[in-house]
Structure 1
C-alpha cells in the first residue's frame, strides 16, 4: 500500500457550497487544525461503488447517482476534489443538512476519497427541460457575461462544458438539477461577505445578478448537454 498522503482540500473557488461553510470553518477549526483536511491513500473507485451501495446513496441521488428530483443534486461526474470537500463539510457539520450530516458522520477519510473517486467515473445526468428563450439568455450570460452590468462569464471558471476543474476544486455544474441550482445560487448571492478571498468570489460574481438573470442561468446550466 502506498504511503498515506496528507492533503488539504483546495480553497473554495466559485463552488456550489452552503454559504456559511467557510465562515464556520474559520470560527470552529481547532488551533493548528482543519476539519476539512483529509488523509488517504490512492482512492479506490471500486470500493467507493460498494460504499455507495451500502449507504444507499441512490435512494436520494438516483440510480447511477443521477437524480430525477429537481431539488437534489446528481453526483455522477462530479469533480472528486469538490465532492471530497462537501462530504468533509457535512461530516464536520459545517454544511447544513440533517440527512447528509448523518450519512457522513462515520465516514473515514479513505471512505470519502473512495466515494468521490467512484462518482467521478460516472457520466453526468441528462439535460433537464428548459424554456428555449430563457436558456438562450442564460447561455449568453454563461459564455460572455455582460460587461455593461459588470457580470462575469461563468465559463472562466467552470469551462465551456460546465465541467469545472478538479485541480482547482471547481465543481461540475453540467445539467445541475434546476431547483437545487436556484437554491445554491441564492445561498451565494444572499450571503454576507467572506473574510477569505476565494469563497467570496461567487458572492461577488452574483452580486449584480437579478432574479431574471438567475432564472436564465438555471435554465442553461440545467440543460447544458442533451
Structure 2
C-alpha cells in the first residue's frame, strides 16, 4: 500500500465542521481558483450526513453485526482492532462516512459501511458512545509511566504538547470538536495510528496537521510508550 493511499484518510479534514476551510481550499477568485461568484465545491459526496434524532436502541440492534470484530458492545479483545465503546459519536460518524465514501482504506470496513444509511451511522454512533470503554490492557509499568508523563505533561524541552490538552486527562476526547476518545485503545491499533499521524505529510488542514505537529518530535520509543499508556488508562 503506497503512502498516498495509506495516509489518504488522514488528509480528509473534518468537513462536517469546517466548511469554510473546504471552500477556501477551492479558490477565491485568485489565479487557479474558482472565478468570483462560482459556488465553492462542498465536501466529498457522502460525508455530510442527514439524520433524525439518533436512537441508541436501534443502534444496539445494528451493532450485532459489528461484534464479531469489535467485540460485544464495542469492547474489543483484539490488540489490533479498535474498540468502539465510549467513542464520541461525532468521531464514529465521521469514520463510518469516510469508509463508506471509500476515502479510508479497508476492504472489510468499506463493505460494512456501504450497507449503512446516514441514520444507521448516527444510531450506531449513539449506541457505542453510551457504552463504557473496555477494560485497561496490560502494559509494561516502566513503559506506561513514560507514556503517562508524555500524555499528561508533554515535554517542554522537546516542544512536545501534552495529549491531554485536546483528548482530556481521562482520554475521553471531545464530541463537539470531533476529537476521538483514546481511553484503553487497543495497543497494536493505537501504535499503528500514532505512526501514521506522525509520518503523514503536511496537508495544511487542522485535523491531521494538529496530530502531525504534536507527534513529530516523538521517537518510535515515545510512540510505544504512549500506546502502552492510552491502552491501559484506568
- Taking structure 2 as the reference length, what is the TM-score of the superposition? 0.83
Give me the whole-angstrom Cα distance separating, in 1, the residues matched to 2:91 and 2:12. 18
The yes-or-no answer on 1:214 pairing with 2:223 is: yes
Structure 2 residue aligned with 1:190, among 194, 199, 212?
Answer: 199
What stretches of structure 1 of length at least 5 have no aligned partner?
Answer: 1-17
What is the CA distance between 1:94 and its match in structure 2? 0.5
The yes-or-no answer on 1:21 pairing with 2:9 is: yes
Give me the whole-angstrom Cα distance separating, in 1, the residues matched to 2:209 and 2:176. 19
Give me the whole-angstrom Cα distance separating, in 2, the residues matched to 1:215 and 1:177. 12
Please list, as runs of the form range in 1=range in 2, the aligned pairs for 1:66-145 lying within 5 A after superposition.
66-145=75-154
What is the CA distance between 1:22 and its match in structure 2? 5.2
The yes-or-no answer on 1:51 pairing with 2:62 is: yes
What stretches of structure 2 of length at least 5 have no aligned partner?
Answer: 1-5, 14-21, 26-39
CA RMSD in angstroms comes to 1.7
Give me the whole-angstrom Cα distance separating, in 1, the residues matched to 2:228 and 2:11. 30
Give me the whole-angstrom Cα distance separating, in 1, the residues matched to 2:77 and 2:223. 22
Q: State the number of aligned residues.
A: 204
Structure 1 residue aligned with 2:187, among 175, 178, 188?
Answer: 178
Residues 22, 194 of structure 1: 8 Å contact kept: no
Give me the whole-angstrom Cα distance separating, in 2, the residues matched to 1:154 and 1:22. 18
Residues 76, 122 of structure 1: 8 Å contact kept: yes
Question: Which of structures 1 and 2 has the larger relative contact order (alpha carbons within 8 angstroms, sep 6+)?
Answer: 1
What is the CA distance between 1:23 and its match in structure 2? 3.5
CA offset digits 1:117-141 (Å, max 9, x no partner): 0001111000000010110110000
CA offset digits 1:169-194 (Å, max 9, x no partner): 11100000000001000111111111
Specify the SS of the correspondent of 2:128: helix
Q: Which residue of 2 aligns with 1:31?
A: 41
What is the CA distance between 1:24 and its match in structure 2? 5.7
Give me the whole-angstrom Cα distance separating, in 1, the residues matched to 2:132 and 2:188. 21
Residues 154, 161 of structure 2: 8 Å contact kept: yes
